[in-house]
A and B are shown apart, each in its own frame.
Chain A
Amino acid sequence: MSKPSERVALVGSPNSGKSSLFNRLTGLRQKVANYPGVTVEKTVGDCILPSGKRIELLDLPGTYSMAPRSPDEQIVRDVLEGRRESTDGADLVVAVVDATNLERQLYLALQILSTGRPAILVLNLIDAAEAEGIVIDVPALTRKLGVPVLAVSAKTGRGMDRLREAMDAPRGNGHANGNGNGAAERPTDAPALPLPALLAGLNDPARGYKDVEAIVREVVRRRPKPDQLRIRIDHVLTHRVLGPTIFLLLMATVFQSIYAWATPAMDVIDAGFTALAGGVRAALPPGPLQSLLADGVIAGAGTVAAFLPQLVILFFFLALLEDSGYMARAAFIMDRVMGAVGLPGRAFLPLLSSFACAIPGIMATRTIENRNDRLTTILIAPFMSCSARLPVYALLIGAFIPDRHWLGFIGLRGLTLLALYLFGIVAALAVAWVLKRTVLRGRRPLYVMELPPYRIPTWRSVLLTIRNRCLLFLKRAGTVILAVSILLWFLATYPAGHPETRALEARAKTAAAAGHVAEAAQLEDAAAGAALRHSFAGMLGQAIEPAIRPLGFDWKIGIGLISSFAAREVMVSTMATIYNLESGGGNDAEASLRGILPGVTDDRTGLPVYTPLVAISLMVFFALACQCMSTVAIVRRETNSWRWPIFMLVLMNAMAWGASFAVFQGGRLLGWG
């Protein structure tokens, strides 16, 4: 495929239907990346024009003004003025406006035209405007502005062919009428502006709007009247009692679906990758290659793929909520509540999603416009107790917290679990409070936000959102996760062939040959345990023991902490391997582990390794520590730098260490150890 010969930029305000138009024009030939050096996303796609010419279409961030107020708006301005090295301007600008409200939308459009770039004005949502009884005199507007004006509906596809033709037409001059005679030269120096007086007024909003009012009076017949349906829907959705109730019901549905409905699909994916690893083990002779493929590569790819069901479900809801216009109402309802802890209303859904998993939660923060607000939300999301912590909590609570009940239904185990969840929330809010006053301090962002009209989301946009997000995750975070999985596999597998491991393997073979199946299985588990204990991971566990001893952890727990960086729940299977229970002695590994943990003693002192105090210290550590390579990878992707994920890793682990230290040493002082 040849490189696109021209770049066309779509510019418009946030609710102009710009992205639907982009989706219409590019379909599946689009991708999302980042502008270098900033967190702003760059959406580009290919579009084929009637003449067969391929152009690159750039969907610029929504903006209200050419006077930049945010990194997003700065990008728009830089591209239109050809100032960004990596984006070197645009050959044609398509200014998109919402035809239902020209009075507000033309203001930005005129600023765009004033840059002097060849431009087309698109009146999007023309069917909605007509339904409201608005008639726009398109030829008159074309004459007034001196650029081609087209009425389209990205939703139904009306007018799209004519738009493609207009984009295809030769452009001689910034403000040609679209009937150019094929002149190839495109003067880059400022073209003559058709309405110099009008354009000069755009540094002065009061004057700019006066000029817009004058144009609108001439070209729009029947001014828009208040949309009664919208007012009635708003009356319910932002009602004093019904509003918050509906909001909570919707949020509960989203949460429930990520938390529970994704599980069957995740189980299928998990089973698929397990079967694939089994196939590789059967097809290849035992050895480094078999181990690398089955335990490193396929296991890592399985970790990556298991996130997809949650991401698909979350982004399905997110696209529906955003495209329908509900998300703005949710922010309107929640601003006061979230504002109490210094976060925007839009932070609610990402944080809620993080109780299922921080990965979709962090990806959902993109609806938060302000950079500091978004970074704060990203950094506190991993404190929400995700579902991967649950197996660890279940193991330790089951093994060490007595099953005591009061009043018949209040159980000590349930209360412990609840306390861990609340602990995560309190830690998150405290961190947010501190971040907002230190590293992420800044002027309180303007809240002012448009409450857009309600629109029925299109399948096209919803599906494209899901597709783009999943591709981004796979490409940008998935690769990091896979690489770290392979590294962790290496640490747990090499150096191989320790004499203890060899001896146990030999005995297992002998036992198997003699037909002692149970004994052989036990010896194999012992060999796996020995292999792990003598691996690099085992050495690392020993190396970090002095650092975690004050928390009550021995080096075997240290191995668990290191390997659970793959995913927190890996802690359980790693501990099972360490204690020679890999296959669980025929039982569920977790159940056997729960049975033996209280009896585990220290090799040197002979004292129990695990006491209830150690278990609590370990759970506190898990509540706060960033033991999740996927979270690190996704923060890297969403912030477009390594700075923030490293900051998060250090901060969370320092907090975890401090809290566990306080719990363990404090508990010992009180004589609980």
Chain B
Amino acid sequence: MSAEAATAAIAGDPPKTQTLASVASGARARVLRIDGDEHFARRLMDLGMTPGTEISLVRRAPFGDPIELIVRGSHFSIRRSEAARIHVETL
């Protein structure tokens, strides 16, 4: 599925959405859609961040950026600027 398709799949944002960049450490969230070019969306989805996937935000790096996530049992780090393109609903 392309990024456009991924976006289209979840037309009409649920009311309480935010981006991953604003999720607090220790909180959990569910991926709704990924903004940005297809390259970016496909890479994140290849890593398992497909729409509907649950993500836990573990911590921020010592200097505030990047952040650490758990996706499907694996830990990833991602810059906040990248996380700001991932729309989620908090759980």
Instruction: List chain A positions with a Cβ less than 8 A from chain B.
Output: 64-65, 67, 69, 101, 103-104, 107, 204-207, 209-210, 223-224, 226, 231, 234, 238-241, 243-244, 328, 331-333, 335-337, 339, 446-453
Contacts and interface: CB of A to CB of B under 8 A. Distances in A.
B6 to A, nearest CB: 7
28 contacts: A64-B46, A64-B47, A69-B43, A101-B72, A101-B73, A104-B47, A107-B48, A205-B1, A206-B1, A206-B52, A234-B59, A331-B77, A332-B68, A332-B77, A333-B61, A335-B61, A335-B66, A336-B61, A336-B63, A446-B39, A446-B43, A448-B43, A448-B76, A448-B78, A448-B79, A448-B82, A451-B75, A453-B75
Nearest to B68: A451
B42 A67 contact: yes
A240 B62 contact: yes
B60 to A, nearest CB: 9
Contacts of B48: 103-104, 107, 209
Nearest to A239: B62
Those 3 A-B pairs whose CB atoms lie nearest each other, nearest first: A205-B45, A65-B46, A336-B63
Contacts of B73: 101, 103-104, 223-224
A107 B64 CA distance: 32
A448 B44 contact: yes
Contact of B62 (A207, A231, A244, A447): A244
A67 B46 contact: yes
A335 B6 contact: no
A413 B74 CA distance: 53
Nearest to B44: A448
Interface in B66-88: 66, 68, 70-79, 82
B45 A206 contact: yes
Nearest to B56: A226
B78 to A, nearest CB: 5
Contacts of B6: 206
B62 A238 contact: yes
Contact of B66 (A204, A231, A240, A332): A332
A331 B65 CA distance: 11
Contacts of B61: 238, 243, 332-333, 335-336
A482 B80 CA distance: 48
A128 to B, nearest CB: 13
Contacts of A204: 1
Contacts of A210: 50
B53 interface: yes
Interface string B30-42: 0000000001101
B70 A226 contact: yes
Given A450-B75, A450-B76, A69 B39 contact: yes
Nearest to A325: B75
B82 to A, nearest CB: 6
A332 to B, nearest CB: 5
A101 B72 CA distance: 8
A64 B70 CA distance: 16
Q: Which one of B59, B64, B68 has the highest number of Cβ atoms from chain A below 10 Å of its Cβ?
A: B59
A415 B42 CA distance: 52
A449 B43 CA distance: 11
A234 to B, nearest CB: 8
Contact of B68 (A238, A239, A244, A447): A238
A205 B50 contact: yes
Given A210-B50, A339-B79, 7 more contacts: A101-B74, A209-B45, A224-B73, A234-B68, A332-B68, A446-B43, A453-B75
Nearest to A216: B72
A331 B6 CA distance: 30
Contacts of A205: 1, 42, 45-46, 50
Nearest to B45: A205
B39 A335 contact: no
A104 B45 CA distance: 11
B27 to A, nearest CB: 15
A239 B58 CA distance: 12
B44 to A, nearest CB: 7
Contacts of A209: 45, 48, 50, 53, 72
Contacts of B75: 450-453
Contacts of A243: 61-62
Nearest to B71: A104
A447 B80 CA distance: 10
A451 B39 contact: no
Contacts of A244: 62-63
A14 B64 CA distance: 26
A140 B88 CA distance: 35
A207 B47 contact: no
B74 A450 contact: yes
Contacts of B46: 64-65, 67, 107, 205
Given A206-B6, A209-B53, A451-B75, A446 B40 contact: yes
Nearest to A242: B62
Contact of A335 (B42, B53, B79): B79
B62 A333 contact: yes
Nearest to A240: B62
A101 B68 CA distance: 18
A229 B48 CA distance: 24
B74 A104 contact: yes
B51 to A, nearest CB: 6
A155 B81 CA distance: 38
Nearest to A98: B74
A336 B39 CA distance: 23
A329 B50 CA distance: 25
